[in-house]
Chain A
Amino acid sequence: MDGLMEPTVQVMEVQKRFHRTTAVDGVSFDAGAGITGLLGPNGAGKTTLLRILATVLAPDGGEVRLLGRDPGRSEDRIPIRRRLGYMPQEPGYHRNFTAFEFVDYVAILKEMTERRRRHDEVRRVLGLVDLGDASSTKIKALSGGMRRRVALAQSLLGDPALLILDEPTAGLDPQQRLRFREVISEIASRQTVMLSTHQTEDVAALCQRVMVMDQGRVLFDGAPHQLAETARGGVWIADGRDARARLSWRTGEGRHRHIGDAPVGAELVEPTIEDAYLLLVGKRAIEEETAA
């Protein structure tokens, strides 16, 4: 088969260490058009993996191919970057730039030199994230959510074939998240989107595929409904706390929702992605979520 059928992202046994900590530990997967969500607690290795895919970090071991090229080769790296959109977890902003100026600056760094077309493109992406009216506002005067949208806008420049988004919905209000889902789902009908998130709702609403990571490894790789299925029979509700549950909490209705090995005769309920995720990554994740 020729290169036309090659997936956009190919990751083979990739490893990355920082001193004694193994951030990514032998991860392998392929990804094509559509949205692949990375779920996992803090320190799971999601951001490191996305940095490797964004060509910002080089892996210590294994092989990565992006858009049919090897980012380890300097002659391949620039062509990859031309077709890549990246929104880092902490993108950083030039506070004295307006939203337009910042995205325009990034557009030049993306080799968009023709001024009029570039400005049209900047206006287009700012419009996509509903920042058209705030384009001449200095970034220091924008709210946290609006700044995230500026960062999202720059990643959409040039309609990238591979879009890498590291916790893009952090700090967005529900309305903005809805708009974000709208934009990303539209893009993903044609392109490859890799996004990391803590929000299981985002995964359920957006992703065709989800990978759950913890301690640098992939614990689950499949469709979101398949992830939810892994918790079937392991989620039940009761009037009081059940000591046999691995995790439990009091719901809004005053009853207790439990996750773990359900006792015989328990009132089983339909599992959600969040239930399955918590079952997979365990107590550490729920502590992280509570802290967050």
Chain B
Amino acid sequence: MSLAVAEERIQTAMAAGPRLRCVLALTRIEARRLITHPAILTPAALIVLTGVRGPGVFQFLFLVGIGYFAIGIGTFVAANLCASRSRRNGTEELYRSLPLRPADRTVAHLLSVAAPLAVALLIAGVLAASTRPWAGASARLDIEPRTIMYGLPDFAQGPLLVAFLGIAGVVLARWFNTPIAVPAVFAGIFAMNSLTDLAPGALRWLNPAADYSSAGLVSASVMPWHLVYLAGLILLLGLGGLVRRPFARGLQVYGALAVAITSLGAVMQVMAASS
């Protein structure tokens, strides 16, 4: 068979789409598998069951962050299992013979975290609508009589933490292939929390999960910068999943941008907390 004929037949049989469209098609599949993963559905079901006792309990769970943490940990585990699926199931050899590169699959896994992020944002939207922080009222809870939220930006921290943990799960799967990796990361989170608790007040905001109760409220203007810091950390973490040799130009720009955003957020939040 001549190569020209073969080429023509293949092109007729199946139009090869550009990489971006493949990545997006894969992202849709991975997002659906991620959001329906038992590791996410189980904490979500528990939250719903707890919330049946009344909207106050549901509100409490998310305003103090327990709800987001539960979904975030579920997202971390599910994202890790989805991203390591091909290695665990022994399909790597087959996938290496296919045109879409492993890096593109990693991008799809990273982007799939948008699904649990969207769910968390939806929850945050419902919470914000019910507590109405833009009306000037801070969110207070009868069950825990302290101010927890001061403004609309505060509601974005929980969803961003969910995304942070999801991305961490993917990056971990990219680099480590050992069952102790997940517990090691939990230990790391615990260690980071303990270390930042020892730090002076303003520096406690370097903990991605810092809030007004753990780091202390000095100024409500801290949170917007903390969100910038958190977004930068998510981008930086994503870089950990994408980095490969040779270090592509686009990745260098992305990395520089991530470092800049993280640094800006870190410095500005500490300054805001110190002022």
The answer to whether A4 touches B2, judged by C-beta atoms less than 8 angstroms apart, is yes
User: Does B97 have its Cβ within 8 Å of any Cβ on chain A?
Assistant: yes
Contacts of A81-107 to chain B: CB distance below 8 A: 81-84, 86-88, 90-95, 101, 104-106
The answer to whether B99 touches A82, judged by C-beta atoms less than 8 angstroms apart, is yes
How many CB-defined contacts (below 8 Å) exist between A and B?
A: 122
- A252 shortest CB reach to chain B, Å: 39
User: Does B136 have its Cβ within 8 Å of any Cβ on chain A?
Assistant: no
User: Does A244 have its Cβ within 8 Å of any Cβ on chain B?
Assistant: no
What residues of A have a CB within 8 angstroms of the CB of B15 in the complex? 113-114, 117
The answer to whether A81 touches B99, judged by C-beta atoms less than 8 angstroms apart, is yes
A121 to B13, CA, bound (A): 9
- B170 shortest CB reach to chain A, Å: 17
The answer to whether A111 touches B16, judged by C-beta atoms less than 8 angstroms apart, is yes
Q: Quick check: which of A130-138, A154-162, A225-233 contacts chain B, the rest being far away? A: A154-162
Give me 16 other A-B pairs in contact (C-beta within 8 A), A110-B98, A117-B14 excluded: A55-B96, A67-B3, A82-B16, A82-B99, A91-B91, A92-B92, A109-B95, A109-B99, A109-B105, A110-B99, A112-B14, A112-B16, A113-B25, A115-B25, A161-B9, A192-B1
B98: contacting residue among A8, A81, A90, CB under 8 A: A81
How large, as a class, is the contact surface on chain B?
35 or more
21 chain-A/chain-B pairs, Cβ below 8 angstroms? A4-B2, A33-B1, A51-B93, A56-B96, A67-B6, A88-B97, A90-B90, A90-B93, A92-B94, A94-B86, A106-B94, A108-B26, A108-B100, A110-B99, A110-B100, A111-B19, A113-B22, A114-B15, A117-B14, A159-B13, A190-B1
A154: contacting residue among B26, B92, B94, CB under 8 A: B94
A113 to B25, CA, bound (A): 7
User: Does B29 have its Cβ within 8 Å of any Cβ on chain A?
Assistant: yes
- Indicate the member of B4, B86, B91 with the most A CB atoms within 10 Å: B91
The answer to whether A113 touches B97, judged by C-beta atoms less than 8 angstroms apart, is no
- A82 shortest CB reach to chain B, Å: 5
A161: contacting residue among B6, B85, B93, B98, CB under 8 A: B6
User: Does A63 have its Cβ within 8 Å of any Cβ on chain B?
Assistant: no
B3: contacting residue among A4, A55, A88, A117, CB under 8 A: A4
Closest to A158 in B: B14
User: Does A265 have its Cβ within 8 Å of any Cβ on chain B?
Assistant: no
Closest to A160 in B: B10
User: Does A141 have its Cβ within 8 Å of any Cβ on chain B?
Assistant: no
The answer to whether B26 touches A109, judged by C-beta atoms less than 8 angstroms apart, is yes
A111 to B10, CA, bound (A): 12
The answer to whether A92 touches B93, judged by C-beta atoms less than 8 angstroms apart, is yes
Closest 6 A/B residue pairs (Cβ) = A92-B90, A113-B17, A92-B91, A161-B6, A113-B21, A86-B97
Closest to B26 in A: A108
Contacts of A155-210 to chain B: CB distance below 8 A: 157-161, 164, 190-192
Number of interface residues of A (CB under 8 A): 52
Closest to A110 in B: B98
User: Does A254 have its Cβ within 8 Å of any Cβ on chain B?
Assistant: no
What residues of A have a CB within 8 angstroms of the CB of B130 in the complex? none
- B107 shortest CB reach to chain A, Å: 13
Given the known A-B contacts A92-B89, A93-B89, A159-B13, are A109 and B98 also in contact in the complex, defined by CB atoms under 8 Å?
A: yes
Residues of chain A whose beta carbon lies under 8 Å from any beta carbon of chain B: 3-6, 8, 32-33, 51, 54-56, 67-68, 78, 81-84, 86-88, 90-95, 101, 104-106, 108-115, 117, 121, 151, 154, 157-161, 164, 190-192
Closest to B100 in A: A109
- B96 shortest CB reach to chain A, Å: 5
A247 to B41, CA, bound (A): 62
What residues of A have a CB within 8 angstroms of the CB of B19 in the complex? 111
- A273 shortest CB reach to chain B, Å: 26
A90 to B25, CA, bound (A): 26
Contacts of B167-220 to chain A: CB distance below 8 A: none
The answer to whether A83 touches B97, judged by C-beta atoms less than 8 angstroms apart, is no
A93 to B26, CA, bound (A): 17
What residues of B have a CB within 8 angstroms of the CB of A104 in the complex? 29
The answer to whether A6 touches B94, judged by C-beta atoms less than 8 angstroms apart, is no
What residues of B have a CB within 8 angstroms of the CB of A56 in the complex? 93, 96-97
Given the known A-B contacts A55-B97, A90-B90, are A112 and B17 also in contact in the complex, defined by CB atoms under 8 Å?
A: yes
What residues of A have a CB within 8 angstroms of the CB of B13 in the complex? 158-159
The answer to whether A159 touches B93, judged by C-beta atoms less than 8 angstroms apart, is no
The answer to whether A94 touches B91, judged by C-beta atoms less than 8 angstroms apart, is yes
What residues of A have a CB within 8 angstroms of the CB of B90 in the complex? 90-92
What residues of A have a CB within 8 angstroms of the CB of B26 in the complex? 105, 108-109
The answer to whether A83 touches B6, judged by C-beta atoms less than 8 angstroms apart, is yes
A82 to B89, CA, bound (A): 23
Closest to B85 in A: A94
